[in-house]
Amino acid sequence: MTALSVLFIGFLLGLRHALDADHIAAVAALATRSRSIQETIKTGIAWGIGHTVTLFGVCVVIIFSGIAFPEKIAGALEFIVGLILVGLGVDVILRIFRERIHIHTHSHRDKGSHLHFHSHKDEVVHESSAHDHEHPSTLPSRALAIGLMHGLAGSAALLLLTVNQQVSPSLAIVYLLLFGFGSILGMGFLSAAIAWPIQSSARRGTNLFKRFNILIGIGTAAIGSVVMFQSYPNVVAVLTTL
């Protein structure tokens, strides 16, 4: 296999990696807070950057130190990812029921119109709420943090390190970078695809938006529960070695 083929495969695997069920669930749950497709894409890219940073860091250390990354540890970290997904799903559901989410179109003179949804919790009169809000230009810190955790967990690091047995360390690093770029790009496209039905349901009314969000919350929590169930034996194995 030529060096170019190895690098191309790394990029394609990065694109494919973005489509893992737990990744889709995480970004879908995070996207329920986004006001626009652009904001959702930014969320997905933030997740992808966080995922790439930790994955790249761990793999580089392993490549140059020769220290193995135990599969049991990777599996135990997956359990934490599952726990995070359950928390995200429950948060989506509770936010819908407790916060009295309301949706309407909101306009800015310099940025056009977008969907504005906000809470009316503890309010009696709708007009009493302040509709002023800001649009942060930085990457969403919540998505970035969850991406960082995702990058530590699972079999991706183990999968990537198999290439180190066939190529030089410098080529392996380029492979990692292309894998990371592919996962960021893939998550950006995936976020756009996720954003469309969420924004579409919001434009059709608050009730449909709420139902769709509840579906996302239930799905995210269910995927998280499956991840926890599958990775639980690794948690037990790690705890018994302590």
Domain boundaries, the chain: 3-123+139-240
Structure confidence at residue 210 (pLDDT): 83
pLDDT digits (tens, 9 = 90+) for 157-198: 555 555 556 678 888 888 888 988 999 999 999 999 998 888
Q: Which residue in 143, 142, 149, 29 sits closest to 80, CA to CA?
A: 149
Q: Would you place residue 146 in the very low, low, confident or very high pLDDT band (cuts 50, 70, 90)? A: very high
Q: Would you place residue 215 in the very low, low, confident or very high pLDDT band (cuts 50, 70, 90)? A: very high
Most confident of 85-89, 127-131, 139-143: 85-89
Residue 187 to residue 45: CA distance in whole angstroms: 6
pLDDT mean over 15-20: 88
Structure confidence at residue 68 (pLDDT): 67
CA dihedral 105, 202, 38, 111 (to 10 degrees): 0
- Strand locations in the chain (E): 101-108, 112-119
CA distances from 183 to 53, 92, 125, 146, 218 (A): 11, 25, 45, 15, 25
Give the pTM. 0.81
pLDDT mean over 127-144: 63
Structure confidence at residue 128 (pLDDT): 47
Largest CA-CA distance found in the chain, in angstroms, rounded = 68
pLDDT digits (tens, 9 = 90+) for 22-66: 999 999 999 888 877 888 999 999 999 999 998 888 888 877 877
